[in-house]
Chains A and B, each alone.
Chain A
């Protein structure tokens, strides 16, 4: 469905030299620094999956999306979306994809949202029944009518983002690329967006590729994750697998013993070496243990033995923490070089 093979994208960034003499020198000789934004990335995203494309800042997420949408041409390697190389057949590719760039509006700045939609309908030649069905859906889930005839430039970020998301799905694309789509959306709308994409996925088998810094978005919308660090894929699989790779897990508990919180924590840390226990809100205790050394069962057994437990639960590991670990694990020097042109 979506394939990337040894995908590389390098940017040439003019180097500015310090001081006035440096500025004058750049008038005559220009030096460029070559930055590799995407470093030999290979992956495959199956049709009908909802994949989160995850990476730290500068991991090449947006750049990869721009190659998959045909905006930029790779420096080397190739990528294919539904069998075609997007940058070679940009317009053909564009017919079957929907895109949201959270940072840039794709709507008509001076027109209202309904007017923008009418233009999109003509551009993509959207059949009547599809257009009506989708509009009805946006009314129901995104309350799109509330945006009225206000020009897009006067909408709030949240309102605009609702319209952007709707616009990206209007022509029933086979693949949607959402680059940071939910900036400015509140919880209720995030829920609605999730429902919207789930319906498209269920009825049309739409493939979703999402990049986001918001872990809640990823968890809500995606079923699999592609983690890229410094241009390299470091994890590909389901979100569950990703969470399971956490090297520290937690247990929270509440007890009826008349003990000071510090004493409870000290008892836990003494009994289970390598474990960290800290008082949490509401008199609870947060126990953080290395997954390699203990099972949750061992930790629970210890707690049951030593305390009169009132409540106890083991939350899913935090995706953010998992990612931080993955990034922390490998820190090679950034590949870059200087060339004079």
Chain B
């Protein structure tokens, strides 16, 4: 594993050359959060203190949607773009002459992106909205559960993005695939509409899919919307299961893709 550390530090060094990018990401995330937050605040404006639709209070729904947006920033780890581009252009060849595993390299290289997004985009956006609108204050235990769950959500996001990027093996239109992924994830993670508000069968489907672990899962824990210790454990276990399952799928597909890799020219 020591051989992979320089990919993380090198990634961080590269990243720091593009500081203005964080401003752009921050503005985009804040705008996105503003749209959903203010829309849903209008819906919940007259909700009783005991909770409106789905059992959310006004502060609760605000926190859910804001943090869903911030989690999405953490999940924008560029793995999908970079893998797709490298596979499509054939630059993956260069990575393959190194004595390292490409998926692991990508994982380590995305860690600084996630960390920088958290610190340089996530925290400022959170503070901005905390200043603008009242947020729910979590219990310390729930905050800790959220932290663990957020880490698992980052792992799931990595696998989903890696799989998306590997579409570059099959199609040249990876932009379209990435757009589809983004919409599917935003919807089934509960980022646009909290899963609790979806109609029964759809909510059941969303709860079964891995994308739930990317926003709704961590936020369920943060807002204390679970049933005792078993409920909290269930959310974490589902996330961990999906993370492990998707990682296995990535490993298998990557291996098969490599066997069929065709790098033409150059």
Contact = CB atoms under 8 A, between A and B. Distances in A.
Nearest to A13: B264
Contacts of A123: 3, 6, 98-100
Nearest to A72: B261
A94 B265 contact: no
Given A111-B13, A123-B3, A123-B6, A94 B262 contact: no
Contact of A108 (B2, B14, B99): B14
B169 to A, nearest CB: 13
B181 to A, nearest CB: 22
B242 interface: no
Interface stretch (B36-44, B86-94, B208-216): B86-94
Contacts of A110: 13-14, 17-18
B234 interface: no
A115 B11 CA distance: 11
B261 A97 contact: no
Given A73-B261, A151-B17, A91 B6 contact: no
A127 B59 CA distance: 58
A97 B96 CA distance: 12
A106 interface: yes
B261 A71 contact: yes
B254 to A, nearest CB: 12
B2 A104 contact: no
Interface of B: 2-3, 5-7, 9-10, 13-14, 17-18, 90-91, 93-94, 96-101, 258-266
A314 to B, nearest CB: 39
Interface in A52-79: 62, 66, 69-73
A103 B262 CA distance: 16
A11 interface: yes
Given A69-B97, A104-B90, A115-B13, A125 B3 contact: yes
Given A62-B265, A101-B266, A90 B96 contact: yes
A11 B264 contact: yes
A139 to B, nearest CB: 22
A313 interface: no
Among A99, A109, A116: residue with most chain B CB under 10 A: A99
A94 B13 contact: no
**In the complex, the 10 A-B pairs of residues with the closest C-beta atoms, listed nearest first:** A103-B266, A110-B14, A94-B99, A119-B6, A122-B6, A99-B97, A106-B94, A91-B99, A95-B99, A71-B96
Nearest to B89: A104
Given A70-B96, A95-B99, A111-B14, A122 B263 contact: no
A119 B264 CA distance: 28
A147 to B, nearest CB: 16
A94 B97 contact: yes
